[in-house]
């Protein structure tokens, strides 16, 4: 078994560009420290049997990896890394502060009280959430490194204000409206069957002339 196949069997992943070791277990989905056998100890937390992780430290020694505190945030707008946790994030439009805590970003606005946004210290506007932008964020590790960057997820960096539930609701409404429009179009374009046609309708050709029109309005 090759090194990367072995790591995959342990739910570990190496990001080659950042040289980060990522734990892909659902509880983590973050970069983990690599020094002094700590990955092996970390897997014990996930109840991985010792025989399965016994060779991990030796194999990782041949790779030049970085610990989370040595990693810098990626460029904003980067594609989301599937192995890292994806966060519903917030940024301040004025000073670019970013967090995953909605209440924290709200209190960041001085208009709400003891805010710390330097760009709004002298702002006399009424309190609002206009300074908040809803984005997707990732970080290498909440424990060792909270340097967030904005990521592209499903083709966008901006997320709906209510998170995924709100997005699901919007999509369901859109689908209902499309279906309603389709049914309405079908009813307006339906041709009369032979039994419904009178000789007068057949002679005048009104049915063909009015096909596609809203007959209720007419």
- Which pLDDT belongs to residue 201? 47
Q: Average pLDDT for residues 85-113, to the nearest whole number?
A: 83
pLDDT at 199 over 70: no
Q: Cβ contacts of residue 137 below 8 Å, gap of 6+? A: 86, 87, 88, 89, 98, 100, 148, 149, 150, 151
Confidence of residue 194 (pLDDT cuts 50, 70, 90): very low
Confidence of residue 106 (pLDDT cuts 50, 70, 90): confident
For residue 181, give both structure tokens.
Answer: 């429009």
- Which pLDDT belongs to residue 123? 57
For the stretch 142-192, pLDDT in tens is 876 679 999 999 999 999 876 556 556 556 766 777 787 777 666 555 555
Q: Give the span between the Cα atoms of 218 and 210, in whole angstroms.
A: 9
Confidence of residue 215 (pLDDT cuts 50, 70, 90): low
| CB-based contact 135:89 (threshold 8 Å) | yes
- Which pLDDT belongs to residue 195? 45
For the stretch 10-51, pLDDT in tens is 999 999 999 999 999 999 999 999 988 899 999 999 999 999
pTM above 0.85, yes or no: no
């Amino acid at each position: 078994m090759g090194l990367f196949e072995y790591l995959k069997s342990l739910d570990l992943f190496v990001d080659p560009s950042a040289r980060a070791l990522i734990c892909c277990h659902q509880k983590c989905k973050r970069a983990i420290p690599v020094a002094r056998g700590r990955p092996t100890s970390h897997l014990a937390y996930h109840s991985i049997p010792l025989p399965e992780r016994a060779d991990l430290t030796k194999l990782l020694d041949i790779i030049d990896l970085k610990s989370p505190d040595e990693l810098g945030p990626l460029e904003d707008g980067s594609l989301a890394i599937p192995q890292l946790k994806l966060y519903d994030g917030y940024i301040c439009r004025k000073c670019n502060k970013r967090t995953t805590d909605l209440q924290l970003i709200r209190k960041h606005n001085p208009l709400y009280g003891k805010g710390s946004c330097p760009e709004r210290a002298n702002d006399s506007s009424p309190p609002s959430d206009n300074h908040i932008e809803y984005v997707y964020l990732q970080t290498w590790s909440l424990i060792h490194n909270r340097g967030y960057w904005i990521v592209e997820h499903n083709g966008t960096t901006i997320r709906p204000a209510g998170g995924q539930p709100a997005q699901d609701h919007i999509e369901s409404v859109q689908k209902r409206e499309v279906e309603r429009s389709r049914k309405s179009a079908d009813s307006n374009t339906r041709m009369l069957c032979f039994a419904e046609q009178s000789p007068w309708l057949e002679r005048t050709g009104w049915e063909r002339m009015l096909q596609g029109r809203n007959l209720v309005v007419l």
